[in-house]
Amino acid sequence: MGILLSAVLERGFFPWMPGPFSYILMLAQGLARKEKKPYSRQVKTMRKRILYGEANYPAIVRENGYFVDKTAYIQKLELVKNTVFLRPRRFGKSLLCTMLESYYSVLYKENFEELFGHTWIGKNPTPLHNTMLVLHLDFSTIETGELEVMEKSFNHVVNSKIKALIQNCHAWLENSPSFDPMASATANLQSLVNHFTPNLIHPLYVIIDEYDNFANQLITGHKDLHYKQLMADDGFLKTFFKLLKEGRKTGAIHNVFITGVLPVTMDELASGFNIASFITLEPEFENMIGFTQSEVDTLLDEIYKDYEINPDTRNEIQDVIKNQYNGYHFIDPQGEVVYNSTILQYFLDGLTKNSTMPQHPMGINPEASIQWLQRLGASNPESIKKFVEELLLRENVSFDRSFTPKINMFYFLEKSYFPILFLHLGMLTRKNDFFLTLPNLNMKRIFVEYFNELHRIDVSTRYADMMQGFVNDLDLKALFAGYWQEYVSQLPEAVFSQVNENFYRTTFYELCSRYLSSWFTWNVERSYPKGRTDLEFVGKFNECFAGIRMVIEFKYFSNAAFKKLNTKIEDFSLMPEDTEQIAGYVEGLKKEYPEAKVTQHVIYCFGNGGFKVFDLE
């Protein structure tokens, strides 16, 4: 598949705000895309563009978007029947669907060379290319609520697509199937399927994108009764999937390709569509969408060349990508990581616009992730609370490798399934064969935000003065003192029986990132020849603190351990081994960044009793 980046460079758009992410402006020449003419040729600009959020494959090719060629997966997919492929939100599932439609639909036959000539599959086409009538459905547009509302919306969405297929493909249909706009979607699909036979020259191919979207909204919206009604044996959804199964059985439907986030709905539909082939956990499809590390590196090579960005910034940009957006292992924990493609598009969009990184690293609104945490918190408050705290303390949780790809909704609300749920949602990644872990700083921020919400910790109204003071004088001692006074003082007593250096480091980073992202980025556990740093403040190369790197080592003593030292906090001395440890990190850092202005700091935290910061020479 071609994963293509998209966002109009000229627009004023704030991608971290809620709402749709990509309403693409038309080209300056006024060559607007017209839905009824999918194969009208577009004039390409000389320089490639980051088309952020665009999920229409032909549009991205024609508007000269950056391209990662993964079309070889099309050939592999042809060997799988009734495919179900699950990945987290914003990974590029919709783009994959529009690419498959462009490849198989007879409507794009005359445009095969334009759309695929530059790709692997264009040079190695399969006999099936542009031979089918494609019914492409997107369930993410279906309204949720009362059963009648969902059924009406479902019928409207599906019927409009069936009607469009009949109208656009009448030349390839011997006789137009009957279509009743007042009938159910299943009735009209039945009429369409009856028109096809196994020997028809142009068979029917069905694509369903985000099959579980409206069901997931019911779950996170606490509408369990509506969910049960939706999944009833005689309900409109199961009846629809039974018809797809029958069409596949008779050969009227050549194949079905389904995407989604969670397997929960497919489990409920088991009797209606028990022919599904889940490829979510198949190693050969792990990197079918998203960007691998090597692909990100290649993209950066192109962008730096095309936009003439200062090559001296390359290492810093790579550090930010790996720390803020570090990729996922869905199957092989030792394999190459795969990044969320949309969040990388957001970052690269800002890089091409301004030759620097975006001010706010989060990019994508985390509302959907927070909603799942809230939903689980409402149904099982103590379990989700312990789960979140365990992640913040240890950054990994154990998981059961024997889980099935099809899981009932109510299993997902059980504590034992939390890790698997968050793996599907893209909030955790495989660390090894036994543990899942937080993949990047963005996910750490989400869990810290929810931790703060659970414990009602104010992170918004009491920190402006201390943050402004740090910007004025870069006094890390004063900054951490403010954190301890304003943030740590709000923590409930029970938390201190579990805290460790990782907890203090993560919550300190999250608080600082809220206020200081205009000037700094952060490295957490960055590797050097002599070990990994705990935390680094890195001045952005285009801001006033460019070149500044504050390397921080965190050390923790429980109240009991500190008591054994038989000293007071104010009399506590810097330990020689800690000085040697941080010096080893800095030695590696200076070799990599010889011009950097490096400062070294060791922070000791003593249970809930206090702290001490040492600034090293």
pLDDT in tens, 113-137: 999 999 999 999 999 999 999 999 9
Q: Kindly report the backbone phi and psi dihedral angles of residue 556, in degrees, each rounded to the nearest multiple of 5, phi listed first.
A: -130, 135
- With vertex at residue 438, the alpha carbon angle to CA 435 and CA 441, rounded to the nearest 5 degrees, is 160
Q: What are the helix (H) ranges across 207-339?
A: 213-220, 224-230, 236-250, 264-268, 293-306, 314-325
What is the per-residue pLDDT for 410? 72
Q: How confident is the model at residue 191 (pLDDT cuts 50, 70, 90)?
A: very high
d(CA 477, CA 226): 54
| Interval 292-325: pLDDT, tens | 999 999 999 999 999 999 999 999 999 999 998 9
- pLDDT over 60 at 63, yes or no: yes
* DSSP at 105: B
CA dist list (Å): 466 to 168, 459, 545 = 63, 13, 18
First to last CA, the chain: 53
* Confidence (pLDDT) at 31: 31
Give the whole-angstrom CA distance, residue 599 versus residue 450.
32
DSSP character at residue 51: B
User: In the block, which residue shows the tokens 């692997």?
Assistant: 120
H helices of 196-282, in order, are 213-220, 224-230, 236-250, 264-268
In contact, 551 and 585? CB cutoff 8 Å: yes
Say which range, 50-54, 95-99, 432-436, 467-471, has the weakest mean pLDDT. 50-54
Mean pLDDT of 521-549: 94
What are the structure tokens assigned to 84, written together? 């179900």
**pLDDT in the model for residue 361:** 65
pLDDT score at 531? 93
**Cβ–Cβ < 8 Å for 48, 64:** yes
Phi, psi values for residue 4, rounded to 5°: -120, 140
Higher pLDDT, 20 or 106: 106
Decide if pLDDT at 258 tops 80: yes
Cα 58 from Cα 40, distance rounded (Å): 10
Residues 586, 587, 588, 590, Cα dihedral to 10°: 80
Q: How confident is the model at residue 41 (pLDDT cuts 50, 70, 90)?
A: very low
Q: Is the dihedral of CA 424, 428, 430, 436 positive or negative?
A: negative
Q: Please give the average per-residue pLDDT across 543-563, as a whole number.
A: 95
Inter-residue contact 528 to 589 (CB < 8 Å): yes
CA pair distance 448, 506, nearest whole angstrom:
8
Identity of residue 95: L
- Contact status, residue 17 vs residue 367, Cβ threshold 8 Å: no
| pLDDT-derived band at 363, boundaries 50, 70, 90 | low
DSSP 8-state assignment for residue 273 = S
Four-residue CA torsion sign, 98, 99, 100, 103: positive
Contacting residues for 544 by C-beta, under 8 A, at least 6 apart: 519
* Residue 264 pLDDT grade (very low, low, confident, very high; cuts 50, 70, 90): confident
Please list, in sequence order, all residues whose beta carbon lies within 8 angstroms of the beta carbon of residue 478, skipping any fewer than 6 positions away: 466, 469, 470
Q: CA 393 to CA 505: how far, in whole Å?
A: 10
Report whether pLDDT(380) > 90.
no
Instruction: Give per-residue burial for 353-386: e unless 16+ CB within 10 Å, then b.
Output: bebbbbeebbbbebebbbebbbbbbebbeebbbe
CB 412 within 8 A of CB 271: no
Burial environment of residue 305 by CB neighbours within 10 A (0 to 12, 13 to 18, 19 or more): exposed
Of the chain, the percentage scoring pLDDT greater than 70 comes to: 90
pLDDT band at 3 (very low <50, low <70, confident <90, very high): very low
Has residue 42 got a pLDDT over 60?
no
138 or 401, greater pLDDT: 138
Give the C-alpha separation, 58 to 4, whole Å.
Answer: 10
Instruction: Look at residue 29 in the predicted model and tell me its pLDDT.
Output: 32
Give the 3-state secondary structure of residue 286: coil
Least confident of 14-18, 92-96, 353-357, 597-601: 14-18
What residues does 606 pair with on adjacent strands? Answer: 557, 610
